């Protein structure tokens, strides 16, 4: 960063400090990861200088001979990796990708059925505070109170009664497998589009650790920076016949010029995800999440649904004598970074919810395995028990730094 240091030492220094933070703490937010150095190089390239409104070989600006080839590579890799008929890699992130689906397939105030944010869904699946809950008529399905699993039959009954034009499946905080085939049946019964937002689990769908949303879903959306380890971006995959609607919704419906540097980095990340070591990485993410879940249970933590099938674990902090927020704050003091999150049927508000959400993608990228997950669980148990004891938190922080030093974070210069 020699140029940045010279031109803007203040920002350079803050980036350097963030690098040190990312290297020296345990990053357990399940939607975060470490992008590879190759992905970072593409993201920081001269492609940021170019406008390219339109799609490959059909642009509104000249000078696209290299940009077209780059986006074409990204599209081809996306189609091949997910077995999709059509791909669009231009959405700026996951929420704009979902917004483009609404814009492409619906008219304002059409009916949408999506998973409740409080049950682990996403803002863009119909939450009142989001565009999706404001511009569309929405009903929200959730979880079974007895099992904590998606209540498919309640969703089916709701769909029959409400007759939505589009059904969203997918979640941001759900530790179990989603059965896309049941949602396909429900969508067929009411004549709705089925959209699977696999932002959290896209890697697991590629590696076979989670059932694939295709061919069940008409449209699949995903971010590119979570398990996929790409740059911050979004992607839409769909059946060929929906391609014109989706592409027109992204551009010119919603966005202007694509972020070409991000497109190139997505191409790189998709190339990396096609390699066998990525499949092994995803298998390990799940093994690590299950080892973390077991370790936390051994430490006396109560987990939503008792464990996990995927990359994430949700602790109910209440039996530990915490709110999710108070536990997340104490964990951060000890160098363990997670996020406070609602648990199913949470009596507490979103600002001070009952749960803490943890995930293993970033630690697995550092090369940590089951033995380290047991250590991490022991740290978390210690912090939960002694959250008010600054000396204990400081001691754990030192142990965390020692553990992290043995597993260098790829692409993070310190």
Which residues form the catalytic set?
51, 53, 197, 223, 226, 232
Q: What is the nearest approach in angstroms of ligand DSN to the Cβ of residue 96?
A: 11
Which is closer to ligand DSN, CB of 88 or CB of 222? Answer: 222
Q: What is the nearest approach in angstroms of ligand DSN to the Cβ of residue 30?
A: 7
**DSSP notation for 13-56:** HHHHHHHHHHHHSEE--TT-----HHHHHHHTSGGGG----EET
Q: What is the nearest approach in angstroms of ligand DSN to the Cβ of residue 360?
A: 14
Residue entry with tokens 């074409």? 72
Q: What is the nearest approach in angstroms of ligand DSN to the Cβ of residue 340?
A: 12
Dist. CA 341–CA 353, nearest whole Å: 6
Which is closer to ligand DSN, CB of 31 or CB of 202? Answer: 31
Question: From the CA atom positions of the chain, what is the Rg in Å?
Answer: 21
Dist. CA 53–CA 75, nearest whole Å: 16
Which residues contact ligand DSN (rule: CB under 6 A)? Answer: 31, 94, 122, 172
Within 8 A by CB and 6+ apart from 346, the residues are 118, 353, 354, 355
Which is closer to ligand DSN, CB of 31 or CB of 130? Answer: 31
Which residue in the shown chain puts its C-beta closest to ligand DSN? 31
In order of 69, 215, 239, the CA distances from 356 in angstroms are 43, 33, 37
**DSSP notation for 350-398:** TTS-SEEEEE-HHHHHTT--HHHHHHHHHHHHHHHHSTT-HHHHHHHHH
Which is closer to ligand DSN, CB of 198 or CB of 246? Answer: 198
Q: What is the nearest approach in angstroms of ligand DSN to the Cβ of residue 300?
A: 26
Q: Which two tokens stand for residue 20?
A: 């040190």
Which is closer to ligand DSN, CB of 30 or CB of 54? Answer: 30
């Amino acid at each position: 960063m020699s140029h940045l240091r010279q031109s803007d030492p203040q920002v350079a220094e803050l980036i350097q400090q963030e690098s040190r933070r990312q290297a020296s703490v345990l990053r357990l937010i399940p939607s975060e990861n470490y992008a590879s150095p190759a992905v970072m190089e593409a993201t920081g390239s001269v492609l940021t200088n170019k406008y390219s409104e339109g799609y490959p070989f059909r642009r509104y600006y000249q000078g696209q001979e290299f940009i077209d080839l780059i986006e074409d590579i990204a599209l081809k890799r996306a189609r091949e990796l997910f077995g999709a008929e059509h791909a669009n890699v231009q959405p700026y992130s996951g929420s704009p990708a979902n917004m483009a689906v609404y814009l492409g397939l619906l008219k304002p105030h059409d009916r949408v059925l999506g998973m409740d944010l409080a049950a682990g869904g996403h803002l863009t699946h119909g939450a009142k505070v989001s565009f999706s809950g404001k511009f569309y008529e929405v009903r929200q399905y959730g979880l079974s109170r007895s099992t904590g699993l998606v209540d498919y039959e309640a969703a089916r009954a709701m769909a029959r009664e409400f007759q939505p034009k589009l059904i969203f499946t997918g979640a941001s905080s759900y530790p179990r497998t989603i059965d896309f085939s049941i949602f396909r049946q429900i969508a067929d019964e009411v004549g709705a589009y089925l959209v699977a937002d696999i932002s959290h689990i896209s890697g697991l769908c590629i590696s076979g650790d989670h059932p694939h949303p295709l061919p069940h879903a008409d449209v699949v959306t995903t971010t590119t920076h979570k398990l996929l380890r790409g740059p911050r971006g979004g992607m839409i995959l769909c059946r060929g016949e929906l391609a014109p609607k989706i592409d027109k919704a992204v551009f010119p419906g919603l966005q202007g010029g694509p972020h070409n540097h991000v497109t190139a980095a997505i191409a790189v990340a998709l190339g990396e995800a096609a390699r066998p070591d990525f499949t092994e990485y995803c298998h390990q993410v799940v093994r690590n999440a299950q080892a973390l879940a077991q370790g936390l249970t051994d430490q006396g933590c109560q987990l939503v649904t008792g464990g996990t099938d995927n990359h994430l674990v949700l602790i109910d902090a209440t039996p530990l004598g915490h709110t999710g927020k108070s536990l997340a704050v104490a964990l951060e003091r000890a160098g363990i970074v997670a996020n406070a999150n609602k648990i199913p049927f949470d009596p507490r508000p979103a600002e001070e919810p009952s749960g803490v959400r943890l995930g293993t993608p970033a630690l697995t990228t550092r090369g940590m395995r089951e033995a380290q997950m047991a250590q991490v669980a022991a740290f978390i148990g210690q912090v939960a028990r002694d959250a008010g004891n600054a000396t204990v938190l400081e001691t754990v922080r030192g142990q965390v730094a020692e553990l992290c030093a043995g597993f260098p974070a790829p692409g993070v210069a310190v």
